[in-house]
């Protein structure tokens, strides 16, 4: 069945179509939730909440753009809404250049390790890092989404990069030490 047909059946509240759409999109949307969540369990909760929103708002999908992109945006907004409720964002006056690049030694750093250290970032750093680096939003868009200034988004991004670089370097030193034994 084509996705357009599934969407129409979901608009008609067809439970079987909702299940099929869930099975089709859940793996991709779970990876989005995992990027923005503190841990696996929180990502699962965010996925379930996000799908409830998708099914409740599916009538609003107007086929301008991809359904998957529309659903991804709902997932991201759902996760961000959870953080807005707890006001994790505070203005930080740090003079850290946002041009810092993260250097990764592909042989010593796995995808799982990268995901783990990104999830360990403080909420405000993790969200800005993911929105900017992984999903390509501009600082202006991020500032609007999180209701903070562009200066704060730049500062949070720079701080996230510094923390990640430090963890990657420490991991590399630990692996070199272990390999030398």
pLDDT tens string 53-79? 999 999 999 888 899 999 999 999 998
In this prediction, the residues of the chain whose per-residue pLDDT falls under 70 are: 86-108, 175-181
- The pLDDT of residue 102 is 58
23-46 confidence digits (pLDDT tens): 999 999 999 999 888 889 999 999
Angle at 134 between CA 91 and CA 24, to 5 degrees: 125
What pLDDT sits at residue 91? 46
Q: Which residue has the tokens 């996705």?
A: 3
- Check residue 170 and give its pLDDT: 87
User: Please, are residues 36 and 76 in contact by the beta-carbon 8 Å criterion?
Assistant: yes
What was the pLDDT predicted at 5? 93
Q: Are 75 and 33 in contact (CB under 8 A)?
A: yes
Residues 6+ apart with CB under 8 A from 52: none
Structure tokens at 128: 């800005």
From the number of C-beta atoms within 10 Å of its C-beta (0-12, 13-18, 19+), residue 37 rates as buried
The pLDDT score that the predictor gives to residue 114 is 87
Res 180: pLDDT: 43
pLDDT for residue 84: 73
The Cα–Cα gap between 76 and 83 comes to: 11
Integer Rg of the chain from CA: 19
Give 84's contacts (C-beta < 8 A, 6+ positions apart): 146, 147
The pLDDT value given to residue 87:
53
From first CA to last CA, the distance across the chain in angstroms is 57
Q: What is the pLDDT of residue 101?
A: 56
Q: What is the pTM of this model?
A: 0.71
pLDDT at position 21 is 96
């Amino acid at each position: 069945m084509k996705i357009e047909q599934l969407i129409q059946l979901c608009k008609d509240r067809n439970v079987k179509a909702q299940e099929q759409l869930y099975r089709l999109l859940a793996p991709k949307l779970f990876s989005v939730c995992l990027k923005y969540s503190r841990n696996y369990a929180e990502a699962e909760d965010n996925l379930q909440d996000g799908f409830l929103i998708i099914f409740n708002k599916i009538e609003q999908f107007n086929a301008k753009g991809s359904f998957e992109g529309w659903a991804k945006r709902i997932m991201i907004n759902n996760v961000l809404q959870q953080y807005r409720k707890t006001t994790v964002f505070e203005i930080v006056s740090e003079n850290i250049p946002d041009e810092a690049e993260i250097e990764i030694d592909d042989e010593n750093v796995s995808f799982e390790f990268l995901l783990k250290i990104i999830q360990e970032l403080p909420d405000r750093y993790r969200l800005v890092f993911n929105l900017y680096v992984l999903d390509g939003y501009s600082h202006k868009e991020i500032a609007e989404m999180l209701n903070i200034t562009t200066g704060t988004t730049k500062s949070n991004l720079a701080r996230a990069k510094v923390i990640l670089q430090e963890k990657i370097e420490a991991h590399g030193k630990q692996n070199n030490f272990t390999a030398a034994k």
